[in-house]
Amino acid sequence: MGLSRWTSGEREAPEPLEGNVVATVVGGTVVWFTLFLVQLPFYRWFDEHGRTWWLWTCLAGGVLGLYGIWFVRRREAALRRERLARETGADSGPGTGTATGPGTGTAPEGPAPAE
């Protein structure tokens, strides 16, 4: 028993669930900023009770949500480009302008160049 039955590699990982990720992240970001703005008038009460971290947590959630919006929009655009290239049968080999390497979702083929 234990974790070995889950980590032994005998089972394949399921496909990731895809949904409207951009809308989900935008919705969450709006909620965090709304919570921050609703709590802001009560700053004095939060300060007297040692709970100002509630406000800063909401602000941090909103700011991180802005980064999340940028990130998922960029990811969606990359997936769309990849899907379009696959549908049109475009060659994605070296020299075609397709980015490869870390952060692009594709790995370069062949050995790494010597430095």
Residue pLDDT, tens place only, 6-34: 777 777 778 888 889 999 999 999 999 99
List alpha helices for 1-115, DSSP H.
Answer: 4-7, 21-39, 43-48, 52-88
Residue pLDDT, tens place only, 47-59: 999 999 999 999 9
pLDDT of residue 13: 77
pLDDT of residue 76: 92
pLDDT of residue 19: 85
* 47-73 average pLDDT score: 97
Question: How many CB atoms are located within 10 Å of the residue 26 CB?
Answer: 17
* 83-95 average pLDDT score: 74
pLDDT of residue 26: 97
Residue pLDDT, tens place only, 95-112: 555 555 555 555 545 455
Q: Which of 16, 28, 12, 114 is nearest to 65 (CA)?
A: 28
Q: Is 87 left (phi over 0), alpha (psi -120 to 50) or beta?
A: alpha
How far apart CA 73 and CA 55 sit, in angstroms, is: 27
